[in-house]
Amino acid sequence: MASACVGARGTPWERGTVRSDVVVAWYGPDGAGKSTLVERVHQRLRRADPACVVERRHWRPCLVPGPVRRRGNVDVTNPHGQGARSRSVAAVRDVLVGIDFGLWWARHVIRRPWTRDSVRVVLWERYLDDACLDPVRYRRPGSSSVLRLLAKLLPPVDLVVIVAGDPTTIASRKHEVTAERTAEALDRLRDHPFRARDRVWLDTTSDPVDACVDTVLARLGRAAATRSVT
């Protein structure tokens, strides 16, 4: 029996008609409102149909254990102020990240034939390309050729959501980030060659949150339709 996982304004997600997971990658500068929108989309999907499986992830799958993070003197509120790692350490971490994402996508493909009776929406805040767009956040000495190659080899996500807006307004929400740095981040997002079947650009400084959520859910419905079983 089919069950609907309803998106914006009644857009149906008929369980059993989606071939595989619908993967959504979220990007945007600090303070743009990514976490708020991911949470609201998550809540709307679950309210529409509790049987709809919504999976939230941040940055990497974590199927492969990473190095132990030293806490103590690490300021988690200012990820851009930690300083770069050495090239050798960064290279090792990039390889681990590559294995991590490879395993996740392998599991994604393997589980496909066994889960035709369910819909899984993966909301991925700061997906792989974020490390290429903002190497300073990930303490890399520069752009990673390993991660750029990995981004080309992995399957494309179904939808990229870029959360943007006026740089000055966004920067005012995060005091450790300047408007100039925010504007540079938005330029990189605008020019980046994302591997995705669809892309949507949201302006959270001028559009209401509910309108942004409706836009994302409508695009999710379209993504599900394009991956439906014919």
Residue 73 counted as domain residue: no
What's the pLDDT at 112? Answer: 57
pLDDT tens column, 165-180: 999 999 999 888 899 9
Neighbours of 126 (CB within 10 A): 21
Going by C-alpha positions, the residue among 55, 43, 175 that lies closest to residue 107 is 55
Q: Residue 230: is its pLDDT beyond 50? A: no
Question: Is residue 130 included in any domain, yes or no?
Answer: yes
Classify residue 173: in a domain, yes or no.
yes
Inside any domain, residue 11: no
* Higher per-residue pLDDT: 106 or 19: 106
DSSP bridge pairs for 125 = 26, 58
Other Cβ atoms closer than 10 A to 176: 14
- Is the pLDDT reported for residue 204 higher than 80? yes
Left (φ > 0), alpha (ψ -120 to 50) or beta: where does 10 sit?
left
Domain interval for residue 92 = 18-66+82-226
84 has a pLDDT exceeding 70: yes
Given a cut of 50, is residue 14 above it in pLDDT? Answer: no
Task: Provide the number of structural domains found in the chain.
Answer: 1
The answer to whether 227 and 189 are in contact (CB under 8 A) is: no
- Quote the percentage of the chain above a pLDDT of 70: 78
Instruction: Return the sign of the alpha-carbon dihedral for residues 115, 8, 223, 205.
Output: negative
Report the alpha-carbon distance of residue 170 to residue 173 in Å, rounded: 6
The residue ranking higher by pLDDT, 225 or 155, is 155
Confirm whether 136 is domain-assigned.
yes
5 lies in some domain: no
Higher per-residue pLDDT: 171 or 48: 171
What CATH number has the domain bearing residue 30?
A: 3.40.50.300
More confident residue, 142 or 194: 194
pTM of the complete model: 0.85
Is residue 180, in this structure, part of any structural domain at all?
Answer: yes
**Cα 172 off chain centre by:** 23
Output 66 or 92, whichever has higher pLDDT.
92
| Residues paired with 203 in a beta bridge | 164
Q: Which of 113-117, 209-213, 224-228 has the highest mean pLDDT?
A: 209-213
User: Is the Cβ–Cβ distance between 160 and 93 less than 8 Å?
Assistant: no
**What integer pLDDT is reported at residue 156 of this predicted model?**
93
In a domain, 71, yes or no: no
Average pLDDT, the chain: 81
pLDDT digits (tens, 9 = 90+) for 123-161: 999 999 999 999 988 888 887 888 989 999 999 999 999
